[in-house]
Every structure is written in C-alpha cells, then in structure tokens.
Amino acid sequence: MENNTKTALVTGAASGLGFELALLLAKDGYHLILIDIDSKKLEEAKTNILKIHPIKIILLVKDLSLVNIAQEIYDEINNTEIDIVINNAGFGMFGTFYDTDWERDLEMLHLHIITTTHLIKLILPDMVERGSGKILNLSSLAAFQPGPLMALYYASKAYLLSFSQAISNELKGTGVSVTVLCPGPTKTSFQGVVSEGCDDNKITFNMACPKDVAAYGYKAMHNRKVVAIPGLFNKFLSILPRMLTRNRTTKIVRKIQDKNRNTN
C-alpha cells in the first residue's frame, strides 16, 4: 500500500493489539509515533519493528492517565503531520464499584475517555483542514451492555463507541474517517491486568488472537467502516441486548463475570 511516507500515532503500542497494529502500519511504510507507559517494552517493540521494516520511529514514554497528557503529547508532535491516530491504550479492573480503588478508577476514566477525546480534539482539526486522515478507536464488545463487576470499564467503552459513531457522522464529506473497533476477549496482556489478584480467566471460549483482531481492525479502518466487530459470534453478542431486556442482559453479564473470575 503506497502511502508516500505518512505518519501514524499509536497509543498502548508496546504490546498486544497496539504492537500488532504498529507492525501493520510499518509494513505499509508509515513512519510511527509509538506511545506507552512501559519504556522497556516500547524499546523492544521499536527494535522488533525495525528488524523488519526500515521506517522512522519516535517513542514517547507517557502515562496517558494523567491530566492534560494529551496536550503534552500534541505539543511534542505539533510539527509532525499525523495521518492516522490509533487510540489503543487501555486497561480494566475487576470488582464491585463500591470496593475498587478510586484513584485507579479515575486513571482508567482519564485514559479511556478524557485523554482519548482530548487527543482527537487536538489532532482532528488539522486532518479536516487537509481533507484527509483516519482515526481508529479501540472500544470493546463490552460497549453494548452494562457490565457488573467491571462497571466503569464497560461504561467507558460504551462512551468510546457512541462518541466514535457520532463524530464519524459529523465528518462525512471531510475526507476524514473514524472507525471504532469492538473486539471480544483477546489474548493480550490486558487479561493479566484485569486478573491481577484473581485466578486466570476460566472462560477461554471465543478468545481471539491479537494478530487477527488487529488485521480486522486495520482493514476496517482503511475501508472507512464505522463500527468493526471481529467474529460472527461477537456480532451476534453485540445485538443480543436488543433482543433481550436490558435488565436480563445485565444479569447474564454478571453470571459470566462470576464464572470467569470464580467470585461465587
């Protein structure tokens, strides 16, 4: 794919879906700005990419849960024309809302909602002015229903889905597109973060490969698809809340979470 040495920015790029998406961009010749909080893994990601693809890579070690971090990033890259933004960084927490740590809750909300929204707010006007650009936001299958025992995670992913669909509509005719990727369970380090202090996931059915999910989302982004849900079973699960009452769906999610984390 010819891109005339364009530049893409990827958050949460040190591992998992972020790294796989960075590899796909590098394969197509995009220069990269890779952002992650883990400096060691970020350096390893850069080394691994450069072994295969001779591109330019800028690394930014940033904690995306901090207030005004999006402005800090934008100020550092302001002289670089950004053609693609992939907002991949995220984490989850398991537990009842009344019992989770508020500081950690706040970090997740800042990361998923505030930083992602602010970064788009800063970069999007430049894209619109040029008449070109693509944004890929990482939501989740969790976005389609409430999620007891991961209440804020599900809610924040619902925000990303709604926000992405809305601004995608606003951008029609501008040459800029927004895609929101909503994968189901994917075998990445995310699972380890969610499971911290718990046993490993008991439900491994429908666990996707990050390479496959990244490839699906990457293709959807380039095809300017708005909502991308990889896998037929996941597509079915995404419409299940429309077929059942919201209360019933919430109860089903609770039972799955209980079984998955052995909380019963």
What phi and psi values does residue 9 have, to the nearest 5 degrees? -110, 130
Going across the sheet that includes 57-61, the strands are 57-61, 31-36, 7-11, 84-87, 133-138, 176-181, 227-228
- Known active-site residue 153: yes
Of the chain, the end-to-end C-alpha distance in Å amounts to: 51
Single out the catalytic residue among 30, 74, 98, 153: 153
Angstrom CA distances, 204 to 186, 199, 215, 259, stand at 10, 13, 21, 11
CB 168 within 8 A of CB 221: no
**How many angstroms separate the CA atoms of 261 and 174, rounded?**
45
Find all residues with CB under 8 Å of 18, minimum gap 6, and list them.
10, 11, 12, 34, 36, 86, 88, 89
**How many angstroms separate the CA atoms of 153 and 249, rounded?**
16
Closest CA to 28 of 218, 176, 183: 218
**How many angstroms separate the CA atoms of 93 and 108, rounded?**
9
**How many angstroms separate the CA atoms of 6 and 81, rounded?**
8
Return the amino acid letter for 86: I
Residues shown for the chain: 264
Quote the tokens at residue 263. 């909380």
Catalytic sites, residue numbers: 153
